[in-house]
Amino acid sequence: MQRRKRSSALLTAALLLSTVGCFPGGIVDRGGFVDGAGILPEATSVRNASYRIVCRDRDEVKRREELVAKGEPVPNTPPVTYVAPEEYKGGCEVNGESSRFFLFHLWPVTPTLDPAYAMGLPVQELEGDTMINIRTWHETHYYSILGHVRVFRVRGDVIRFEEAKK
**46, 58, 57: which is closest to 129 by C-alpha?**
46
- Whether residue 65 is contained in a domain is answered as yes
- Whether residue 37 is contained in a domain is answered as yes
Structural domain count, the chain: 1
Decide if 24 contacts 145 (C-beta within 8 A): no
- Whether residue 109 is contained in a domain is answered as yes
155: containing domain: 26-161
Q: Express each pLDDT in 40-56 by its tens digit.
A: 555 567 778 888 999 98
- 27-33 and 80-83 beta bridge pairing: unpaired
- Whether residue 166 is contained in a domain is answered as no
- Whether residue 9 is contained in a domain is answered as no
What are the b/e assignments for 13-24, b being 16+ CB within 10 Å? Answer: eeeeeeeeeeee
- Whether residue 138 is contained in a domain is answered as yes
- Whether residue 57 is contained in a domain is answered as yes
Q: Count of CB atoms within 10 A of residue 36's CB?
A: 10
pTM of the predicted model over 0.85: no
- Whether residue 71 is contained in a domain is answered as yes
Q: Express each pLDDT in 1-24 by its tens digit.
A: 555 655 565 555 544 444 444 444
